[in-house]
Amino acid sequence: MDQKVIPAKTHKLPIEKIDPHAIYITEKLKEAGFIAYLVGGSVRDLLLGHVPKDFDISTSAKPEEIKKVFRNCLLIGRRFRLAHIRFGRKIFEVSTFRTGDLEKEELILRDNQWGYPEEDAFRRDFTINGLFYDPSNETIIDYVEGYADIKRRLLRTIGNPYTRFVQDPVRMLRLLKFQARFDLEVDPEAHIAMVECKKEILKSASARVLEEVLRMLESGASQPFFELMTEHGLIEYLVPEIAQFIEKDPDGEEIYDYLDEVDAIFQDPSSSNLDRSVILGSLSFPILEKRIKTQFLDREHIPHLGQIQDQTHDLVNDLFQGFFRIPRRLKVGLINILIGQYRLTPLQKKKVQRRRIPKDADFGLALSFLRLRCCLEPGLQKIHDWWMEAYERVEEKEKPSQRRRRRPRKRRR
């Protein structure tokens, strides 16, 4: 495919929204004799009217050559080395142009050959992510018809979609991610290929799949993403219990209601973000409530806390033990959050009066999830506020003294 150069007067990308440090990196690399462009998500986001979170750079310079140009550079990775250039708390990722086999119908296990800009563009997943931006002349370099697809709001793979999904099944999740985030239309060929390839997702590294899903839960578009995963049958391979609950249980839509509230928090710049264990509670708590109702409440039996603990452990193991295994820290936090809901809002109403703050490291997270529940059940707000005030009082009392203690002098012998 021929290279297209789109001038600033045509694309109207707002250069003033680009981080000055990213422009500085490209300038320094060019001064050293290398090609350097802004790439991928930042170019896509700016053209779609969004503010990018990160500005990644691709260059013809090898990692060791990048390090020679920037003293504030750290090389990371073993299989494929990347450069991280730090300015204060900001880190900019700089990669060397790579090449890849676009036609080989097998899982990609190695992807570490240096290449040219056009080869680097063709190895990317979707055309909207295959654009380069040159800040020196404010032009967009397009090898994959990505600019036209952005204008049409079309999500299309680079190359044959079936081949691309077999090479890297996580691309199917990424397709749904971009569809959910930007409300794009999916190319019909890509849609058909995803239906045929969805089982391939189990061939991916589970840690990579988990991270992709967790990032989407923090994106502000988790509800449409999970709806799309359910619609296209991917969720049944990742977390079959959640898929079954959403599709077959009359209360299955409650998970979407919780995710709507999670999205509202992440979309609000003034809100503090949620811990991942709290977000996972949104996927788990409706199912736990249903299990407790079915096994106990429908039989007119109020379970004691030990029985609730057993149910919670069983549920979390059912949901997050197999392919979609979560790290131990998240698992412990999630279990404590779920059990904590029955301490904060006991099933036996008379026990609500016996309020004391548990000496539990995850109690604050349990309160965060209770606040989320208040969005769906406003009647819980007073209970939340009481616990919050009590928790803050205890926190204030337990703060260590600000005064610095002197160490006792050692006696001379």
Tens-digit pLDDT profile for residues 244-262:
999 999 999 999 999 999 9
Q: Which residue has the higher pLDDT, 326 or 110?
A: 326
How confident is the model at residue 409, as a pLDDT?
59
Tell how far CA 412 is from the center of its chain.
Answer: 59
Confidence of residue 2 (pLDDT cuts 50, 70, 90): confident
Least confident piece of the model among 149-158, 178-187, 321-330: 321-330
| 395 or 137: which leads in pLDDT | 137
Cα torsion through 349, 355, 358, 364, rounded to 10: 80
Compute the mean pLDDT over every residue in the chain, rounded to the nearest whole number. Answer: 90
Check pLDDT > 60 for residue 111. Answer: no
Cα three-residue angle 156-157-162, rounded to 5 degrees: 120
- Beta bridge partners of residue 95, listed in sequence order: 58
Q: How far apart are CA 121 and CA 123, in angstroms?
A: 6
Flag whether pLDDT at 403 surpasses 50. no
Q: How many CA atoms lie within 13 A of 248 on its CB side?
A: 9
Secondary structure class of 83 (helix, strand, coil):
strand
Q: Is the pLDDT of residue 131 over 80?
A: yes
The answer to whether 221 touches 180, Cβ cutoff 8 Å, is yes
Classify 1-152 by CATH class. alpha beta
Contact 334, 326 (CB under 8 A): yes
Residues 6 or more apart in contact with residue 14 via CB below 8 angstroms: 46
Best CA proximity match to 135, nearest among 35, 33, 51, 60: 35
Q: How confident is the model at residue 164 (pLDDT cuts 50, 70, 90)?
A: very high
CA–CA gap between residue 76 and residue 82 (Å, rounded):
5
- Write down the domain spans for the chain: 1-152, 154-204, 252-395
Q: Please give the pLDDT value at position 205.
A: 93
Binned at pLDDT 50, 70 and 90, residue 358 comes out as low
Residue 402 has pLDDT above 50, yes or no: no
Tell me the CA end-to-end span of the chain in Å, nearest whole number.
84
For 252-395, CATH gives 1.10.3090.10
Q: What is the pLDDT of residues 31-59, one digit of tens each?
A: 999 999 999 899 999 999 999 989 999 99
pLDDT in tens, 271-320: 888 999 999 999 999 999 999 999 887 777 888 889 999 999 999 999 99
Residues with catalytic roles: 54, 56, 125
Confidence of residue 407 (pLDDT cuts 50, 70, 90): low
At 383-392, the pLDDT tens digits run: 999 999 888 8
